[in-house]
Amino acid sequence: MARYTGPVCKLCRREGEKLFLKGERCAGAKCALEKRETPPGQHGANRRFKRSEYGEQLREKQKIKRSYGMLERQFHKFYETAQHEKGITGEQLLTLLESRLDNIVFRIGFAPGRKAARMLVTHRHIEVNNRVVDIPSYILKPGDVVKVRVKSRKLGMVHDAMKRVREDRQLPYLALDKAKMEGVFLNYPNREEIPIRAREQMIVELYSK
């Protein structure tokens, strides 16, 4: 399974904004972007230029792709799927990305970040409708119940993440029962409900060229 294994803080610096790839660390003073806002690389501090239209579109695509922890081939497949869905392609793309199992594990609060959520899924710590699912890109359907396996509920990472979660602050398309360590994917989110800063139409324009 291909995945990015390099330093993730460089990705945030490259995009010029926090992608929250390290969970709570990104919200504190230890965040690399708080210490150094310039792009990575030897000449990062000297990069002063106006981006072209293509450059803006590319950066927007890279930002969203990296936020969800995906590589180009898989991300493009999601885009192609979104093209065949009814509605606005850019919004359908974000809805599909938000419905991924690893993202929902993170959103519910079982993991501090998407990378950690991906690890929980691939290591078979997560069940969907009482069946173990170890595919991070698995697309959930409305009504699906996501929970931590009984034998995995003592994991320190899960407990630490759950301590910071409040049931009454779940996103509109999610419901959580902390006592049972399970959540419900209520419905596919619309654009207004997805908490990510993105200009998704730029991705459509980029891939349409």
Residue 2 reports pLDDT greater than 80: no
How far is Cα 179 from Cα 187, in angstroms, rounded to an integer? 22
Do 117 and 80 share a domain, yes or no? no
Domain membership flag for residue 129: yes
Nearest to 189 by CA among 170, 208, 163, 207: 170
Domain membership flag for residue 89: yes
Do 45 and 109 share a domain, yes or no? no
Task: Identify the domain containing residue 30 by its residue range.
Answer: 9-97
How far is Cα 22 from Cα 40, in angstroms, rounded to an integer? 17
Q: What is the CATH number of the domain that holds 164?
A: 3.10.290.10
CB atoms under 10 Å from CB of 54, counted, come to 12
DSSP 73-118: HHHHHHHHHHHTSSS-HHHHHHHHHHTBHHHHHHHHTSSSSHHHHH
Domain total in the chain: 2
Do 144 and 91 share a domain, yes or no? no
Least confident of 26-35, 72-81, 142-151, 170-179: 26-35
- Cβ partners under 8 Å of residue 147, min gap 6: 126, 127, 180, 181, 182, 183
Mean of pLDDT values over 158-166: 89
DSSP character for 157?
H
Do 24 and 41 share a domain, yes or no? yes
56-79, pLDDT tens digit by residue?
899 899 889 988 988 999 999 999
pTM of the model: 0.81
